Amino acid sequence: MSTEPFIKLGQKKKSLFKDAVMDILPDGGNLNMCLTCGVCSSGCPATGLEDMDPRKFLRMAFLGMDEEILSSPWAWMCTMCQRCIYVCPMKIDIPQLIYNVRSVTPRHEKPRGILSSCDLALKHDTCSAMGTTEEDWVYVVEDVLEEVRENQPEFQSMEAPMDKAGAVFFLNQNSREPVTEPDEMVPLWKILHSVGADWTYGSKGWAAENYCMFLADNADWESIIRTKAKAVEDLGAKVWLNTE
């Protein structure tokens, strides 16, 4: 009878992804506290896609399976919703692990949709992922507002202020709505009008989304945030209200 063991236990490989995250997060993002309970996977909207889930992804990182992780598209299917953190009894920061994987992916290998949306957002100070210019944005808001006033008498006095200095709220808007579904902006205007809110849009920095964040491009992510923050500060708004 053979005395050779069926399974040989060796030292696990070093995980570049896990170690990098542990270096930058407080308490290492609690990555070493995983109980393998699987609760993170139970509420994850990406569980099961590409035969992957948060628990499995984390275990692969622990085992140093960096090549396998990089070869899987699952990191790009994660919505970064952080639901896994909220339900985890040990509060393990798996999204930061996902972000780190995305950040080391070569730019030309990143999903085209996210990449193009990031690049379009950098074209104008609007930060619109649709590449919308300041002129087009202002025109759409004014046109939609005029139509509402004409067709809905109860909202004849409604405003959709643009670049109003000193307003309490600086409102961001998903940039796809003025391009593809401009009427979807109106319900929020009505709410703000009905409660007498002091608000404004900005001709600059108004787009609510930031695809450069999802791309894990830190430099471009920061550039867009700074553009938006400057727009808020230049108008002297007290609250930055981001609908995303």
Report the pLDDT value the prediction gives residue 13, as an integer from 0 to 100. Answer: 56
Query: Cα separation of 224 and 212, whole Å?
Result: 8
Q: Give Dmax over CA atoms of the chain in angstroms.
A: 92
Report the pLDDT value the prediction gives residue 65, as an integer from 0 to 100. Answer: 84
- Give all strands (DSSP E) within the chain, no chain letters: 169-171, 199-200, 239-241
Other CB atoms within 10 Å distance of the CB of residue 64: 18
Cβ-based neighbours of 25, under 8 Å, separated by 6 or more:
93, 96
Low-confidence ranges of the chain (pLDDT < 50): 5-10
What are the chain's domains?
A: 16-105 (1.10.1060.10), 113-241 (no CATH)
Report the pLDDT value the prediction gives residue 23, as an integer from 0 to 100. Answer: 58
Other CB atoms within 10 Å distance of the CB of residue 97: 25
Report the pLDDT value the prediction gives residue 6, as an integer from 0 to 100. Answer: 42
Report the pLDDT value the prediction gives residue 4, as an integer from 0 to 100. Answer: 55
